[in-house]
Structures are given as structure tokens and as C-alpha cells.
Amino acid sequence: MADARNSESLGKRCYNWLDQRTGLGSLMHEALDEPIPGGARWAYVFGSVLLFLFISQTVTGIFLALYYVPTADHAHTTVAYIVKEVTGGSFLRSLHAWGSSAVVIVLILHLTQTFLYGAYKGRREVLWISGCALFGLMLAMAFTGYLLPWDQKAYFATTVGTNMASEVPWIGSMLKRFMRGGNEMGTLTLSRFFVAHVFILPAIILGFIASHVYLFRKAGAAGPPSEHPIEPKLPTERFYPKQVLMDTAVALIMICVLGLLSHFYPTELGPQANPADTQYVPRPEWYYLPIFQWLKYFKGPLAVVGIVVIPALTAVLILALPFIDRRLERRPWKRPIAVGIYFAILGTLITFGLLSKREDRLDPAIAKQVAKQNEETEQFMRAPFEPEAAASSLSAPAVVVALDPVAAAGKKVYDAESCDACHGENGVGTNVGPKLAGATAQKSAEELTKLLRHPTEKMLAGEMKAVNVSDEELKALVAYIKSLK
């Protein structure tokens, strides 16, 4: 017995030890030995690649949050800091931004593969619906993330995006105010979008990913289009190693492409949002261009049709697809109508996207403004990083002192009497003396005068001595202390 145990390698013994306590073996078996009818294929990589991209977006996002502050007065400065100062910051931000485009592209590929292979058929309705929900949630991630840099294009694109919500019948205006945190875009909008982007949506997405993977395993891999969707007959191959290897290879290509794009085409940051700018021509990210173009065709009272009715009907149609198309036939060439509709929709979207680009190019006024905006972005990117003056800086008290000659005289007394030795510059306090700005400064002039002439027992114990200056100087000193905010 002892010999048998010794003959096992250390690695094997460690694995056994862990397995007995965690059930790691059966967990790995469960995760990696999923049978694939007909074997591994490159066509099946998209789901895993999406999972990989989601993880990549999560970790890059977390590291961006190291330097980001989600308030209207700091957001743009902190993103500029990431882009212009932080080591590798521009690269990381570009990875995150290009990653979001990659998610949308791979989502479309995943959807197209599932559709062409008829992989939504045969008791896979719930799986399909969870996939649709993930698609919508990912688009919501793109929408909420877009605002966070708080530059011109982020601000104006989101202004348009949230305005669209007001077209929803009955609750539209409420919905818009809910999204914005008020009537206008502002710091509350940014807070809301940030919380949605980093807490709420990712949590919901995680839940849906878990359910999507679980439902996929429950239904089983569908295999090639010739396979029966409920009772597969083809010989199976396990997920590990070949499919895993293919998935990893594509993930590797993905990260290389994202890395090259981020290196050679870093994501730019425009000038800080200026709500007073009336010239700005907002344009959404490429994946929202089709809907942007689409909306141009619905004017006045018809807007509700373009913004709400048709998109809602399309969404319902897509969600209900496995209920409408109930045949078990999976081969695309035997489903010409379904495949035809799918490519018609996809083709329309691409056409709208291209049309929108074309119209912008052909309209001289817009082309000129867009060129100007691009030039402003280039200019901002070339300028060195401008740190933000901290609120606790000199400026505020200095201004008060400059405006009030009595307080200015008081500051001289304050410095001459070395009050700053314990109470700090401008009464901000030190570890040996309390802060004067704030509560102390709120006391009445009489009370302050009395305390300075006759310190209390507690003050004396803290080495605060009576101030020995003329009455006039004391008056100035009190005025100065009262000016400290």
C-alpha cells in the first residue's frame, strides 16, 4: 500500500488530495468532456471567444477604474490622465474600446452561426432567449460605457440616445429623466451610467452567461446542420482537447488583433464635454449607425414608429424565432425563407450604416464640421496633460484674502504670529493643531476675539497661548479666520 502510494508522482498525489476535497476531477470532467456530435469545428468557436472577450473587458475595465473618477468635473481629466500620463494607459483604454467593438462583431458572428446551423431548434427556445438577452445587455454596456470619458462625442451621442427614450409612449419623459437623473445631462447622468456599466449590467450579464452555458449543456451541442437537433446520431468528440484548442487559438488571434489595433490606432479622447456647444455634430459608434440612419426616415409624429414600434416588433420577432420556426429541419439550403429574411435584415443594417457614412461625406456643412471636430480631437490629443487644480489648493482662500483688505492684513498677523505653525497654511489644520476653516470660522467675531485673548483650559493644555497683538491686529486676524472656508 505504502509502496503504491510512493510510486505515484507528487503531482498526481497533489491532484488526488485536491480532488478528494473539492471534486475538481468531476468538475473538470463536467466542463471539458461535453460531447460534440460530429466533432470539433472552427464554426463553434464564437461562444468561447465571447466569453474570453467578456473576461478581457472585465479585467481591462477594472484596471481602468484604478484611475477613473465618475463625476462630471473629474471624469474627463482622469481619462486624459489615463491616456496621456499613465504607463500603458492609452493602450489599456484602447484594448477596452476596441474590445467593445470586437464583442459586437463576434456577437453577430455567433448569432449568424447559430442561425445558419439552425442551432436554436429542438427544445432550445430558452437558450435562444437567454442569448438574445445577452445581445441586448452587451449593447447596453456599449451605450453606457460610451458616456464615461465625458468628452464632446460621448456627451452629445448620449444626449441623443437618452432623448430617443422620450419617444416611448406614456412613460417616455419619465424614462428619459430616470436615465439622466434629471431633465438635463449632468453629473448624475454620469453616476447612473457608471453604476449601470460597472455594477448592474455586468452582474446581470454574469447571471445570463451562467444560464446560457447551463442551458447549452442541458440541450447539448447541436452539431452540424445535418444532425438531428434532439437525438444526435453522429459519433461525438469531447470538448477537450480539440475544440478547446481551437477556441484558445482564436482567442489568441483575437488578443493579438486587439493589441495591434490598440498599438497602431489608439482610441482618442476629444475635448471635454461643452454643453453650450451648439455646432457639434454627434455621431454614434459604428454599431449604432444603422439605427441612427433608420431614424432619419421617421419625422414628426412618425418618430414613435421608427424609434419604438418597429424596433420593438423586430425584437419580439427575433425573440420568438424558435417558437415561430418550429420545424426540426436545420440545413440552411432547406430553409430559404428564414435564411433570406436573416440576410435581408443584416443587409439592410449594413446598407443603413454605409448610407449614413455616405450622407455625412456628401453634405458639405456636416463634412466640414466633422473635419473640424476631428481636428479639435487631434489638437487635444497633442496637448500635454493639464492636471486639475485641487479644491483644497491655494486659490479659494487666496481669492477671499485678495478681495478683503482687512482679511489680507489678518493673514499677515496670522503668518507673523506663526499661527500656521500649528493650524497650518490657511487654517487647514495640522497634526498638532486643529483646523480653523469651517466650524471655528463660523463662530461669532466676539467669541473668536475672546478665545484668542483668553484661551480656554483645553486650548492652553494644547499649547495654544493667548495672542499678544494690538486690538486692531486682532480684529484683522479674526476677520481673516472668519474668511476661511
Touching other proteins, residues 368-397 (CB under 8 A): 385, 387-390, 392-395
Q: For other proteins, which stretch binds (CB under 8 A), given 167-175, 254-262, 330-338, 472-480?
A: 254-262
β-pairing verdict for 236-238 and 35-37: antiparallel
Task: Give min distance, CB of 265 to other proteins, in A.
Answer: 16
Paired with 237 in beta bridges are 36
DSSP 270: -
Paired with 36 in beta bridges are 237
Residue 63 interacting with other proteins (CB under 8 A): yes
Per CB under 8 A, the list member of 15, 67, 286, 298 interacting with other proteins is 67
Contacts of 280 (CB under 8 A, 6+ apart): 152, 156, 274, 369, 373
When the beta carbons of 251 and 321 are compared against other proteins, the nearer one is 251
209 touches 215 (CB < 8 A)? no
DSSP 36: E
When the beta carbons of 77 and 113 are compared against other proteins, the nearer one is 77
280 touches 373 (CB < 8 A)? yes
Touching other proteins, residues 393-452 (CB under 8 A): 393-395, 398, 415-418, 420-422, 425-426, 430, 432
- Mapping DSSP to helix (H, G, I), strand (E, B) and coil, where does residue 236 land? strand
When the beta carbons of 20 and 393 are compared against other proteins, the nearer one is 393
> Amino acid identity, residue 219?
A
Whole-angstrom distance, CA of residue 111 vs CA of residue 120: 10
Residue 312 interacting with other proteins (CB under 8 A): no
Q: For other proteins, which stretch binds (CB under 8 A), given 16-24, 88-96, 110-118, 348-356?
A: 88-96
Task: Give min distance, CB of 59 to other proteins, in A.
Answer: 6
When the beta carbons of 232 and 284 are compared against other proteins, the nearer one is 232
Whole-angstrom distance, CA of residue 394 vs CA of residue 396: 6
Per CB under 8 A, the list member of 188, 213, 255, 305 interacting with other proteins is 255
Per CB under 8 A, the list member of 106, 196, 251, 273 interacting with other proteins is 251
Q: Which three cell numbers stand for residue 139?
A: 449593447
Residue 91 interacting with other proteins (CB under 8 A): yes
Per CB under 8 A, the list member of 49, 50, 83, 92 interacting with other proteins is 92
225 touches 117 (CB < 8 A)? yes
Number of residues that bind other proteins (CB under 8 A): 65
> Amino acid identity, residue 171?
I
Q: For other proteins, which stretch binds (CB under 8 A), given 104-112, 176-184, 230-238, 302-310?
A: 230-238
330 touches 222 (CB < 8 A)? yes
DSSP 272-331: BP-TT-SS------GGGHHHHHHHTT--GGGHHIIIIIHHHHHHHHHHTHHHH-------
Residue 52 interacting with other proteins (CB under 8 A): yes
Enumerate binding residues for other proteins (CB under 8 A): 26, 29, 33, 35, 39-40, 52, 56, 59-60, 63-64, 66-67, 74, 77-78, 80-81, 85-89, 91-92, 95, 235-238, 241-242, 244-245, 248-249, 251-252, 255-256, 259, 385, 387-390, 392-395, 398, 415-418, 420-422, 425-426, 430, 432, 463, 465
